[in-house]
Structure 1
């Protein structure tokens, strides 16, 4: 198993490109496989400290739990959005560019909520949108 190095990092050093992010993403089984390979190929005269290995495993477990928690929070927020969209149907919506119409449908996506208007146009719900 080989892991390629990441060369594209932003100036702040905190984020990487999506391709690099995919390379860095490991599931729990891949992490354990990598750790076992590391143990198999370690120098017998200078073995890795077992407490260090347990600390790595605990850190990975915490990150994995955080990712799962974020996924559940995103699902909860989307469900809350669905509960609030009923109030928008039948109301008049106007965006910053002057597009106006009566809301006939609401579509919730990962990156925002789209209001379908009676004139066939759509407005992305966000800052600058007036609902009356």
Structure 2
């Protein structure tokens, strides 16, 4: 059997860039593509362990939850910033000039 070198690639069969050169982070769609690619190419006589699959799904769920929480917290922080600026403006208008 001949052995050939395997070049690292992503789910779209594109070469993986060295660390620090790519600015895009993996998202939900990337995870789903990787998972479906893994399932397509697994050995049917030696499938992925059920516990490993459940662990991957739990990790994905955690990452998705953290992402949603981050978005929500950013929205709340933006609203607080706007409210604080509004209160500062109202306060400046109502204080008597010295």
TM-score (norm 1): 0.49
Corresponding position of 2:26: 25
More strand by share: 1
Q: What secondary structure, in the 3-state scheme, does the structure 1 residue paired with 2:67 have?
A: helix
The higher relative CO (CA closer than 8 Å, separation ≥ 6) is in: 2
Corresponding position of 1:45: 45
| Structure 2 Cα separation of the partners of residues 65 and 39 of structure 1 | 24
Gaps of 5+ in 1: 9-16, 92-132
Question: What RMSD, in angstroms, separates the aligned Cα atoms of the two structures?
Answer: 2.4
State the aligned residue count. Answer: 80
Residue 71, structure 1, aligned to residue 71, structure 2: yes
| Structure 1 Cα separation of the partners of residues 57 and 44 of structure 2 | 21
Gaps of 5+ in 2: 1-11, 93-98
More helix by share: 2
TM-score (norm 2): 0.63
1:2 to 13, 21, 44: 13
Q: Where do residues 84-123 of structure 1 align in structure 2 (5 Å cutoff)?
A: 84-89=84-89, 91=92
